[in-house]
Structure 1
Amino acid sequence: MSRVRLQTLIDRSVRNMGAVHNVIRESTIEMIKRAYGEEINVQISSGFRSYADQTRIYNQGRTSPGNIVTNAKAGYSNHNFGVAIDYFLTSHDGSEAIWTVNAQWRRVAAIGKQLGFSWGGDWTSFKDFPHLQMTGGLSTAQMRAGQRPNLKMNFTPTKVEDVNTEIGGNRVMGDEPSILTPNGSVHIRAAQTFANSRDYPTRAKANFKTLVVDGFAGPLTNNALIRIYQYFANVTIDGKYGPRSKRAANTLRRGTASQWWVRLLQSSLNAKGYKLSIDGSFGTATENAVISFQRSRNINVDGVAGPNTWGQLFR
């Protein structure tokens, strides 16, 4: 059985991190490289989370099935600001996730701390062993108020070819996630600009407040995009993707000519961390982004944006 390739672990992790701060992204990739050189396979399971994603995770074990995995509500997790990641180990061939907090797990945490992360396993009140974060001394309250950490890399990146183990591999299908800077993601800014265009905030009583174009996707951005969807679909505009909205879904696929629907799809994908040009053309890049998003949400992977894909985009 051959070992999973380093590039495969990096590609999977970049996809799962989404729109994290650039320093978080590069530091995480360095951690994966250094661990791989010590015969440890580490992969990232989560990075940037929208407010809607955080609410869904917070409700797990409370109002929805599953175990409680977080005490942080939306806006109170560093994941919501792109400055935190969660990791796990994999089997030798990369086919199985390993969640046992063993010596290798702790070694990955130690490597992360060398690179500037703080580790949730060191917390006293609620130990979060998969969690690493780099906040630059800012609290979530400060980041909710609009401040962003000034993070800097404290290392020289290791080249993939310099890792003393098997390397290589194919890149995952799908557009790469966008990268957050202290000024936010330019691709999320493009999505917010689209939402503010063509009088959408007031057209057909869509009734959402004109968005602040800050490059950070939160509940207001998500709500605005849902309302534009409902305006396009000619259903009640209430900001909730319910049964009527689902039945009215316009199914989009490669070559679709409905440019404004496609622009909405591209904006909604960008709000989830992708980096598409919002040009109304459903080409290869948009199809690959849909495939990548569907795969990340464990729904049918076909590159076609139908009712279930729209529903996941608006969660």
Structure 2
Amino acid sequence: MKVALRTLLDRSVKKMGKGINPVVKASALVMVERAYNEGITVQISEGYRSLEEQAALYGQGRVYSYNGKNYSNLAKPIVTNAKPGQSYHNFGLAIDFFIVSEDGKRAIWTVNAKWQRVAAIGKDLGFEWGGDWSSFKDYPHLEMTGGLSYTQLQAGKKPHLKLEKSNISKTGKGDRLIIFIQKTLNGRYKAAIEGDGVYGPKTRSALIKGLQTELNKQFNKKLVVDGKWGPKTKNAIVTIKKGASCNITWILQAALYMKGYDPGPLDGEFGKNTETALFKYQRASRISADKLAGKETWNELFDRESGR
């Protein structure tokens, strides 16, 4: 029996991890779906990779330490020349894929016509393919860099990746929690956005509208609810911290999830999981990691278009 598309998509979402850029994630899922519709069963094997995971990978076949920890593993062969921070996986901007047997039970690593077709679909969606590289061929690898170098990314610069409508799944099988967030925004704030499971500009604007609405209700800020991240909204921001229980906390949780950081249940309760997600996001964004959602954090969350 042929493996179901939903199975391949669910496996791919799990493998890409929470730190994956939302545009990269959505495009990868469309690639899997398009390939499936052409009779090719493919899934994503890896997406976001932490700096520690990169150190462990780089340590294979080498004597290597990172941040005071030993990652040497001479028993395994060298598999990468990328140190921590020198792979686009470390910034959620790259994925790896492989072909699977029709029943979904066996990985196929042979670079054949099917493999090249999947790569072509990926390139059509905006990815660069490692199989096109001249010095080192990395056939499973696809990346979206936004034209940024590792140095720029390490300095905290964020890529401006745009999800075209043609890149959105026609079957509406995007991230299910994002669909829930979109439906909640529609019901709570009359956002009227499509529940496509993709974090795009309209969903970002709806989150800002929700924040503006709550600032007006709870703190009498008298903001124009326009979904724009302008000076008046930035100045009206209040700081929330662990223990807060309100709709602003819910918006914070939703925004953190959109950026790839899991705050736990989207319940409006600023508990341990939300605090941990916030702390990780602040550290990754190179802003004050104070576990407080203040002006600096909100500005980082909303000052740019969607994407990490």
Using structure 2 for the length normalisation, give the TM-score: 0.55
In the alignment, the residues of structure 2 paired with residue 51 and residue 120 of structure 1 have an alpha-carbon distance, to the nearest angstrom, of 21
Q: Percent identity?
A: 49
Q: 1:142 aligns with which of 152, 166, 175?
A: 152
- In the other structure, the counterpart of 1:42 is 42
Deviation digits for residues 236-283 of structure 1 (CA, Å, limit 9, x no counterpart): xxxxxxxxxxxxxxxxxxxxxxxxxxxxxxxxxxxxxxxxxxxxxxxx
CA contact (8 A) 1:188 1:217 kept: no
> Which one scores higher on RCO, CA 8 angstroms, separation ≥ 6?
1
- Are residues 1:187 and 2:262 paired? yes
CA contact (8 A) 1:24 1:134 kept: yes
In the alignment, the residues of structure 2 paired with residue 188 and residue 126 of structure 1 have an alpha-carbon distance, to the nearest angstrom, of 38
Q: 2:171 aligns with which of 145, 149, 160?
A: 160
In the alignment, the residues of structure 2 paired with residue 67 and residue 179 of structure 1 have an alpha-carbon distance, to the nearest angstrom, of 41
In the alignment, the residues of structure 2 paired with residue 133 and residue 179 of structure 1 have an alpha-carbon distance, to the nearest angstrom, of 26
Query: Cα distance 1:34–1:212, how it changes in 2: closer, same or farther (>3 A)?
Result: closer
In the alignment, the residues of structure 1 paired with residue 44 and residue 157 of structure 2 have an alpha-carbon distance, to the nearest angstrom, of 26
Q: Which amino acid aligns with 2:117?
A: R
Deviation digits for residues 3-48 of structure 1 (CA, Å, limit 9, x no counterpart): 1000000000000001201000100000000000111111111100
CA contact (8 A) 1:31 1:108 kept: yes
Task: Give 5+ residue unaligned stretches, structure 1.
Answer: 163-177, 197-210, 222-315
Q: How does 1:58-137 map to 2 (within 5 A)?
A: 58-62=58-62, 63-64=72-73, 65-137=75-147
Deviation at 1:185, TM superposition (A): 3.5
CA contact (8 A) 1:86 1:132 kept: yes
Using structure 1 for the length normalisation, give the TM-score: 0.54
Q: Which amino acid aligns with 1:83?
A: L
CA contact (8 A) 1:82 1:180 kept: no
Deviation at 1:61, TM superposition (A): 2.7
Query: Cα distance 1:7–1:122, how it changes in 2: closer, same or farther (>3 A)?
Result: same
In the alignment, the residues of structure 1 paired with residue 88 and residue 56 of structure 2 have an alpha-carbon distance, to the nearest angstrom, of 16
- In the other structure, the counterpart of 1:26 is 26
Query: Cα distance 1:181–1:44, how it changes in 2: closer, same or farther (>3 A)?
Result: farther
- In the other structure, the counterpart of 1:12 is 11
CA RMSD of aligned residues (A): 3.2
1:143 is paired with a residue whose SS is helix
Q: How does 1:215-230 map to 2 (within 5 A)?
A: 216=284
Report which stretch shifted further, 59-68 or 138-147: 59-68
In the alignment, the residues of structure 2 paired with residue 192 and residue 13 of structure 1 have an alpha-carbon distance, to the nearest angstrom, of 25
Deviation digits for residues 277-312 of structure 1 (CA, Å, limit 9, x no counterpart): xxxxxxxxxxxxxxxxxxxxxxxxxxxxxxxxxxxx
Deviation digits for residues 64-86 of structure 1 (CA, Å, limit 9, x no counterpart): 23332211010111000000000
1:146 is paired with a residue whose SS is coil
Query: Cα distance 1:179–1:82, how it changes in 2: closer, same or farther (>3 A)?
Result: farther
Q: Which amino acid aligns with 1:54?
A: Q
Task: Give 5+ residue unaligned stretches, structure 2.
Answer: 63-71, 174-252, 265-271, 290-308
2:96 is paired with a residue whose SS is strand
How many aligned residue pairs are there?
Answer: 189
Deviation at 1:191, TM superposition (A): 6.1
In the alignment, the residues of structure 2 paired with residue 80 and residue 4 of structure 1 have an alpha-carbon distance, to the nearest angstrom, of 30
